[in-house]
Chain A
Amino acid sequence: MSEPLLQVRNLKTYFYTLKGVVKAVDDVSFELNRGESLGIAGESGCGKSTLAFSLIRLVPPPGKIAGGSIIFQGRDITKLSEEEFRREVRWQGISMVFQGAMNVLNPVYTVGDQIAELFMVHKGYTKQEGLKEAERLLQMVGIDPRRVKSYPFELSGGMKQRVVIAMALALSPPLVIADEPTTALDVVVQAQIMNLLKKLKQELKTSIILISHDLSLIAELADKVAIMYGGKIVEYGQSDLVYNNPQHPYTKGLLGSIPRLRGEIKDLTWIPGTPPDLINPPPGCRFHPRCPYAMDKCKKEEPPIIEVEKGHYVACWLYA
């Protein structure tokens, strides 16, 4: 088998605040093959967005990548200088669809200008050539190419999100990170955007990392799933295995809380309590204060990562 597109090893991203060190991403490892897509799920504050920002090296200060490595296409991108990263990796190698399309676009430039700028900066195209590319991209994401002349306020929410996706795809990167790409969109538009992402994945063989708190959304796209809790991955594996045979009590809780459209109406379950404070995370397993199966050991020692079946990993003392 060829080398994976992305290997994240023991990544640590910490925020050095006055109150203490927030360990937003703490010892996270995973890999992604070319053309594969990964879903990262977890509650707000679990570190999933920070993980995404680490991959594209846009962690806002006082955050810093404190350890570990991110090997993308064979080289460790945490070791590159900012200039090298910007020139060679950001947007050409890894691009991102940011959360909240409404606020990502500049309101005083046309969408064509904003897409063309990418080509002018990264590829040295002229404005004319850039606008041509912009038309091609808009067509690809299902918008009338004549819309290059539109300003963001003239577009609906779904169309703006499509423009943001078009910008992420502009330089044909092998990896696109989508951070909650459909929040604030209606269900019909959300389904259309998910269809677009599925098409891009199938036709362009782009790898996508989809970040969301909603496991049903992730099921629509991801080949692999990583469940994050308190800055750590607690369950990781092929999505068929994780969805059909969840092992970690947290994953079970997340899946049990989703209302279904069909079938018998069982009481929804929930996960009691609140997510941990990442300055002073609970000792041992970080999930133990909310876990219905917590044992003595869970309060003292951190659980190791165990392969419960081939390609399915869980960090829980129940299986150790």
Chain B
Amino acid sequence: MGENIYKPVYSKDTKLVVSDLKVYFPIRRSFIDVLRGKPRLYVKAVDGVSFDVKEGEVFALAGESGCGKTTTGKSILRLNEITEGSIGYLPSKKIENVVKLPMVKKLSEHGHIDLYSIPDKYFKPFRQDIQMIWQDPFGSLNPRRTIFEILEEPLDIHGISSTKEERTEIIAKALEEVKLTPPEEFMWRYPHMLSGGQRQRVVISRALILKPSLVIADEPVSMLDVSIRAEILQLMMDLKKRLGLTYIFITHDLALARYISNRIAVMYLGKIVEMGDARKVVEDPYHPYTKALVEAIPEPDPQRRFIIKELPIKGEVPSPINVPSGCRFHPRCIALDKHPELAELCKTKEPPLIEVAPGRYVACWLYAKK
């Protein structure tokens, strides 16, 4: 097998390096199963994921629900325990002193550190530097607090500014930044008094008020009407440019990912199956799963109503508890039916993520040298 298997690289402009990340969630056994000595089962939410994100880049993690994209995002913020692997992070200037602690593991000469080697009590500054934009603007804002109180909380937790006047000023600026103007008018409202789009602006503003350098956006527009999605995305892109942010964009919408991201990684059942330049991956997908995903996206062309096009995929997503052997996509793969000579390989051996063109990686035996 070749030397062109994907390995994330640490360089001085990579903000984040996720290396062979595995997140398994144990399933509770019943008391009787414990007595019978049944082995513990695991949901393999993320099962060996590697990628790197360049500074200033928009990196999209795409896939259907249950593919592990959100768990990967949460792992970066240390919102869940990881089973294996490391997450290397290049801290921004303002938190460099934390990095000097003796137990912190260095991963490269450029200053990447392993986020999971930092003791819990020293992790707080990283939560300032890495922020998350949540999916559901209806569920992620406390309905009993005013917008002012919602935005004040992160300042409070991280001990930024002590006087009320100062805070009011910071919050007013943050609201102006997301175009909720005049800020005095929005500050004292409750979330239920805002529309979905306005709420999502508050969520964005709450993420940016601590001046992070890496923002993980988990489906930031999927709960909004199509007609206002573009406005929120444009706002996010403007802020990125102005504040020099790096985005990890978690989405199920490949058409959208093509518009706003530089690179896409397509995930299936806890693994990356294809990765590369956003436009190329969507316009000319290689992996059979990516092909099916692209085929499934509806387009505003009324001629399509006359055509029933069978999707190039069969069956349903299997449970992440019993992941299929070999290539985990093989039970659903149409390409496998056309290439019976690969059947043995696909069913028994997991395909590595291989470089098939410069910067383009696919995990499929169709493209790998056997």
A complexed with B: yes
Residues of A within 8 A of B (CB): 37, 43-44, 156, 158-159, 186-192, 194-195, 198-199, 202, 213-217, 219-223, 239-240, 242-244, 253-255, 257-262, 265, 267-272, 274-275
Q: List 12 A-B contacts (CB under 8 A).
A: A156-B317, A187-B253, A190-B296, A191-B295, A195-B308, A195-B310, A202-B308, A215-B300, A216-B298, A258-B300, A267-B234, A268-B233
Indicate if the CB atoms of A254 and B227 lie closer than 8 Å: yes
Question: Which of A217, A255, A270 has the largest count of B CB atoms less than 10 A from its CB?
Answer: A270
Per-residue A-contact encoding for B174-206, CB less than 8 Å = 1, 0 else: 000000000000000000000111100000000
Question: Which of B225, B297, B313 has the largest count of A CB atoms less than 10 A from its CB?
Answer: B225
Chain B residues numbered 288-342 whose CB sits less than 8 Å from any CB in chain A: 292-305, 308-311, 313, 316-317
Indicate if the CB atoms of B305 and A198 lie closer than 8 Å: yes
Indicate if the CB atoms of A191 and B225 lie closer than 8 Å: no
Q: Give the contacting residue for B300; candidates A221, A243, A265, A267; CB below 8 A.
A: A243
Q: Chain B residues with Cβ under 8 A from A191's Cβ?
A: 295-298, 311
Give Cα A240 to B302, complex, Å: 6
Indicate if the CB atoms of B302 and A265 lie closer than 8 Å: no
A271 and B64 in contact, given A219-B300, A220-B298, A260-B299 (Cβ under 8 angstroms): no
Indicate if the CB atoms of B229 and A270 lie closer than 8 Å: yes
Indicate if the CB atoms of A216 and B300 lie closer than 8 Å: yes
Q: Chain B residues with Cβ under 8 A from A214's Cβ?
A: 226, 298
A188 and B296 in contact, given A195-B308, A239-B305 (Cβ under 8 angstroms): yes
Indicate if the CB atoms of B64 and A188 lie closer than 8 Å: yes
A268 and B300 in contact, given A195-B308, A253-B227, A261-B282 (Cβ under 8 angstroms): no
B80 contacts the other chain (CB 8 A): no
Indicate if the CB atoms of A217 and B293 lie closer than 8 Å: no
Give Cα A259 to B226, complex, Å: 9
Residues of B within 8 A of A (CB): 64-65, 195-198, 225-231, 233-234, 252-256, 258-259, 279, 282-283, 292-305, 308-311, 313, 316-317
Give Cα A223 to B304, complex, Å: 11
A221 and B229 in contact, given A188-B311, A216-B299 (Cβ under 8 angstroms): no
Give Cα A99 to B165, complex, Å: 47
Indicate if the CB atoms of B225 and A44 lie closer than 8 Å: yes
Q: Chain B residues with Cβ under 8 A from A216's Cβ?
A: 297-300
The interface residues of chain B, by DSSP majority, are classed as: helix
User: Separation in Å of the B367 CB from the closest CB of chain A?
Assistant: 22
Indicate if the CB atoms of A219 and B299 lie closer than 8 Å: yes
Give Cα A39 to B353, complex, Å: 43
Indicate if the CB atoms of B230 and A219 lie closer than 8 Å: no
A270 and B234 in contact, given A188-B64, A195-B310 (Cβ under 8 angstroms): yes
Indicate if the CB atoms of A270 and B230 lie closer than 8 Å: yes
Give Cα A230 to B331, complex, Å: 47
Indicate if the CB atoms of A261 and B258 lie closer than 8 Å: yes
Q: Chain A residues with Cβ under 8 A from B316's Cβ?
A: 156, 158-159, 189
Give Cα A308 to B309, complex, Å: 34
Indicate if the CB atoms of A268 and B259 lie closer than 8 Å: yes
Give Cα A190 to B252, complex, Å: 12
Indicate if the CB atoms of B65 and A259 lie closer than 8 Å: no
Q: Chain A residues with Cβ under 8 A from B254's Cβ?
A: 261
Give Cα A199 to B295, complex, Å: 18
Q: Chain A residues with Cβ under 8 A from B303's Cβ?
A: 240
Q: Give the contacting residue for B228; candidates A156, A187, A219, A270; CB below 8 A.
A: A270
Q: Chain A residues with Cβ under 8 A from B227's Cβ?
A: 43, 213, 253-254, 257, 270-271
Closest to B302 in A: A239
A219 and B229 in contact, given A188-B293, A190-B296 (Cβ under 8 angstroms): no
